[in-house]
A and B are shown apart, each in its own frame.
Chain A
Amino acid sequence: MLSRQALDELFSVTYEELRRLASTVKRKDPSATFTPTALVHEAWLKLAKSPRFASTSPLHFKRIAARAMRQVLVEAARRRLSSKRGGDGGVTFAVVGDAAVETALGREELLALEDALQELERLEPRQALLVESRFYGGLDVAETAALLDVSEATVHREWKVARAWLNHRLREAR
């Protein structure tokens, strides 16, 4: 049973570690296939040794990492896209990379998904958690069931429903 503060700590640590790992991945081998699941796994290998995470199970960590990964990716997507708009005012340092068009679409989709996911969080928080864990954290059905304390059949059903709902929203937003 962790306090709010302890949870925030864990999240911050995980977030920073994921970002750090993400940046080293790109430096090492630009052509390497990159999966969030692999990153989460690497982050766990490292952070599990820290006393801060002593009372955290791998499953619970994955859950935190899923949330952190979501944040990392959404921020990365926003950063890239903001360059086209030339800065948002305030102190935004605009960065332009060689933004290829086809990948820009992917980023826009991710941000649209983020909007839809936030809406879902408001309405059905448990479904949103499920999506976050599976999509961003790479948890499989068994793990998700354990995390949410439901049966695997429930996970399948809820995923089916959430997926249909979110995709519908995404299509509407286009």
Chain B
Amino acid sequence: MDTARLKRIQALFLEACSVAETDRRAFLQGACGEDAELLATVQAMVAEDARGDSLLDSGVAEIAGDMLGARGESFASRQFGPYRLKKVLGEGGMGVVYLAEREDLGSLVAIKILRAAWLSPARRERFESEQRTLAQLNHPSIARLYDAGTLADGTPWFVMEYVEGVPITDYARQHQCPVEERLRLFRAVCEAVQYAHGHAIIHRDLKPSNILVKASGEIRLLDFGIAKQLESLDQAADQTKTELRMMTPAYAAPEQVRGKNVGIFTDVYALGVVLYELLARRAPFDLSNRTPGEAEKIIADQQPQRPSSVDTRVHATSWADLDVLCLTAMHKDPERRYRTVDALIRDVDHYMKGEPLEARPDTLRYRAGKFVRRNRRAVIASVLGAAAVLGMAAFFTVRLAIARNTAQATAARLGRVQQFMLSLFEGGDKSAAPAEGLRVTTIIDRGYQEARALKQEPEVQAELYRTLGGIYQKLGNLGQADALLSAALAERKSLFGPEHPEVAESLVALGLLRVDQARLDEAERLVREGLDKTRRARPRDDAAIAKATTALGKVIEARGSYDQAIPLLQEAVGLEERIAPASGELAAAVKELADAQFYAGHYDVCDTLNLRALSLHRQIFGERHPLVADDLINLGAVQFERAKYPDAERYYRQALEINQAWYGKDHPEVASTLSMLGRALVFEQRYDEAVSLVEQALAIQERVYGPMHPKVANVLNELGTVALQRERFDEAETRFRRMAEIYKSAYGEHHYLYALAYANLASVYLARKDYGRAEKMFREVVERYTEALSADHLYTGIGQIKLGRALAGEKHYADAETHLLEGYKILTKQTSPSASWLQSARKELVNVYEALNEPEKAAQFRQMVPAAQ
């Protein structure tokens, strides 16, 4: 049975139905002839058509009801793979835990089956791969996860080490453990949790029933990561809370009941509650007989009673400290808890050794605040001193204003240190001409010197490095930026541990720098790491997550994977919109998305986005700001792709004016704008003007980025194109060859930009009428584009058209037609096809059809080409 056969059968059936019943038999016999099978089939179908009682008619409702209806399932079979179920150990709201024995090995395991959870087919694979990570948890105090999977219908199951023990709170009560013993047990629990955190696994559901103590006194933690699987289901449906989570509300952290993101701090909270129970011998909140809504409120808002005041019979050397330990871990605000379980362990140790705790109401943050205020004066004093030396009363220049604004635009969160930095640049006369010798870099360099002296305040120093690094990057000094951002990252890692949100932020910042440095593999790795850490450590709607998501989108876009970048950036825009309706970060995200859409060829969407970004930027920064210039450039770029060159030129000129005023005439941003303007002029055939501008651009980019940087390749592209237009073939060839070399060394042979350079080079041969060579090269171009992008990408289509052109040049018209049509098809499938390319393709097809002597087809395409051509 194939499609053709079925079509025949069906067509015949329809005909038969329209024939009068009395004539049907004869009609069918005539139509089917020898084909007895055909006759039988169609007759059967006609008979079915007359009946009205099939499943398809009655609908699926009845059957569905049965199949999904509960009939009190119980298990009869006792075999579960290689395991034999022996008895039920326990039952919860989510699932059942069985004790089972592995027949061949004789070992006992616990099997947990989550009846109330379902994974869609797509998620099952992910679930199983996540289990592999969990199975790596190998710690004496953590119950091993041996195996996990899903049943045929998606129900998750887990096979775990069977632990014989009692919940930690019961154990402590049964053995009448004194405080020191309880703390010892607690500390062992913390060590296990810390170990898991080190493997980037958060428990999410710590509670006494998950913390067993064996008869030997050893601790075993259960159910690591299982809560994560359930949570991924909840996230899927975007529920803010779920019955699954509310199973044990007494131990749920405030952020959990609110449905916000969990992180290390969530486990810290749970540990705090466990400690509370161990010390006070009761739970911190009485949630019995409360509705879920009431329970939520209590957990989120009500302060627990101090453990020391609950049970006064218990002796402790210093209750005040125990209170602090417990309540710091259990703080409602995740930021105010112990940052890591390690920190909690340290304080437990301090207590046991009789030493003062590190956690104090007056936290590190406040102390640093005082230091910053001290330092600010010191740094300003030195800067003012420098100004005095140079005899400048007002040393704030336009460039300093830039630094201020870019620093603002760069940082989503204005740390206290950044405020200090910005205050350096406050005020001043914007229209004052930049003074010789007193450029931003000098100020920043001084800032750097001051920062280096701040060895006593490593937090402050790290943040200063981060800010300065960002500023250097904006100013184009990538080497210095690299040194500073790397230093900031290293410092933060050693200060806060690898999971801290500030470390995550540094990773993202460094990743973005790598994009500028054209080191894309590293860029992606760093930003992904930063984003993952940020997601773990921050609530879901946090600005840091939005920013990191935008950054990742930007990196993926830079690699040319627009299909991946677009949804990511859409997500980022959504996140930013929820945070603030009109912010610089939102505009940045919109702009990145616009860029990705542009490269993907979706010009209309890109236009809309760019206009939105432009309006946002104007609103926030005013008319003459480089971000406004950027948007103008993007708008120009779309007009350019639509072959509306004078419009593009207009946009570009506006942008150039702004950029030159802001950055000065020698800045890479200006070079980039010059290139684009030059390109538009080329297409308007104003070649001399164009070349002069673009050569300026080349000089700038070579100086700033070095001769092998992709930005230089960009400019070479422009110059090559002009040369080509003017039929200066040797020059064009040189330019394009160099461009290809640069892209090859920066991105590798498989990147689409290399293919693009190669295509341009091939165009030179085409123009020289060296069709044989051009054909070979364009074939390769099409292959490379297909590999790097896709077979139906816009660029591949253009490649096909050029290949067609080369073949036409060789008079291989039939071949030419094939490729031209292929390319044309691809072009027309684009959502906003570029007019110039369509026209070009049509003209070629007209030529080919004329040569093939097919005048009708030629006419067909000729009609579509505007007469003015």
Residues of A within 8 A of B (CB): 1, 3, 5-6, 8-9, 11-13, 15-17, 19-20, 22-23, 25-27, 30, 33-37, 46-47, 49-52, 54, 68, 71-73, 75-80, 82-83, 86-88, 90-99, 103, 106-107, 109-110, 113, 119, 123-124, 131, 135-136, 138, 157, 160-161, 163-168, 170-172
Contact = CB atoms under 8 A, between A and B. Distances in A.
A164 B50 CA distance: 9
A94 B60 contact: no
A123 B1 contact: yes
B71 A123 contact: no
Contacts of B81: 90-91
Given A26-B68, A92-B151, A164 B3 contact: no
B80 A26 contact: no
B56 A34 contact: no
A143 B76 CA distance: 45
B563 interface: yes
B758 to A, nearest CB: 28
Given A76-B67, A94-B76, A123-B6, A170 B238 contact: no
Given A16-B120, A16-B233, A50-B237, A98 B64 contact: no
B79 A87 contact: yes
Contacts of B74: 96
Interface string B37-51: 000010011101101
A44 to B, nearest CB: 12
Contacts of B13: 161, 164-165
Contact of B64 (A52, A73, A93, A172): A73
Nearest to B85: A93
Contacts of B45: 164-165, 167-168
A102 to B, nearest CB: 9
Given A35-B64, A73-B60, A167-B54, 13 more contacts: A13-B236, A16-B237, A19-B118, A23-B116, A26-B69, A34-B69, A36-B61, A109-B55, A124-B6, A135-B60, A163-B49, A164-B13, A164-B45
Contacts of A3: 563-564, 566-567
Nearest to B116: A23
B149 interface: yes
Given A163-B56, A168-B45, A50 B238 contact: yes
Contacts of B479: none
Contacts of A35: 59, 61, 64
B2 A93 contact: no
A34 B61 contact: yes
B236 A16 contact: yes
B157 interface: yes
B416 to A, nearest CB: 33
A93 B85 CA distance: 11
A5 B121 contact: no
A71 B121 CA distance: 9
B68 A78 contact: no
A156 to B, nearest CB: 11
Interface string B95-138: 00000000000000000010010111111000000000000000
A119 B1 contact: yes
B586 to A, nearest CB: 15
A124 B346 CA distance: 68
| Majority secondary structure of chain A interface residues (helix, strand, loop or mixed) | helix
A159 B67 CA distance: 26
Given A90-B81, A91-B81, A119-B1, A97 B73 contact: yes
Contacts of B63: 73, 77, 103, 106-107, 109-110
Chain B interface extent, by class:
35 or more
Contact of A77 (B10, B67, B71, B155): B67
B575 to A, nearest CB: 9
B75 interface: yes
Q: Which residue, of A9, A13, A71, A86, has the highest number of chain B Cβ atoms within 10 A?
A: A13
Contact of B77 (A94, A98, A124): A94
Nearest to A138: B59
A52 B120 contact: no
A75 B60 contact: no
Contacts of A82: 152
A6 B1 CA distance: 34
Nearest to B113: A93
Contacts of A16: 118-120, 123, 233, 236-237
A35 B14 CA distance: 32
A167 B56 contact: yes
B630 to A, nearest CB: 26
B1 A8 contact: no
A46 B237 contact: yes
B77 A135 contact: no
Interface string B222-241: 00000000000100111000
A170 B55 contact: yes
B152 A36 contact: no
A65 to B, nearest CB: 13
A110 B2 CA distance: 24
A90 B80 CA distance: 8
Contacts of B3: 123-124
Contacts of B119: 16
Given A52-B238, A163-B49, A135 B59 contact: yes
Contacts of A75: 152-154
B164 interface: no
Given A17-B237, A91-B151, A171-B44, A34 B118 contact: no
A170 B64 contact: no
Contacts of A5: 564, 567
B62 A106 contact: yes
A16 to B, nearest CB: 5
A137 to B, nearest CB: 10
Contacts of A46: 237
Contacts of B149: 91
A69 to B, nearest CB: 8
Nearest to A13: B236
Given A93-B75, A161-B10, A163-B54, A171 B48 contact: yes
A15 B120 contact: yes
A1 B153 contact: no
B69 A98 contact: no
Interface string B428-464: 0000000000000000000000000000000000000
B76 to A, nearest CB: 4
B128 to A, nearest CB: 12
B606 to A, nearest CB: 14
Contact of A107 (B14, B61, B67, B563): B67
A46 B237 CA distance: 8
B283 interface: no
Nearest to B56: A163
Given A160-B17, A171-B44, A30 B69 contact: yes
B60 to A, nearest CB: 6
Interface string B70-91: 1111111101110000000000
Given A12-B120, A167-B54, A93 B71 contact: no
Contacts of A91: 80-81, 149, 151, 157
B354 interface: no
Given A15-B120, A23-B116, A164 B68 contact: no
Contacts of B567: 3, 5-6
Given A75-B152, A93-B75, A26 B60 contact: no
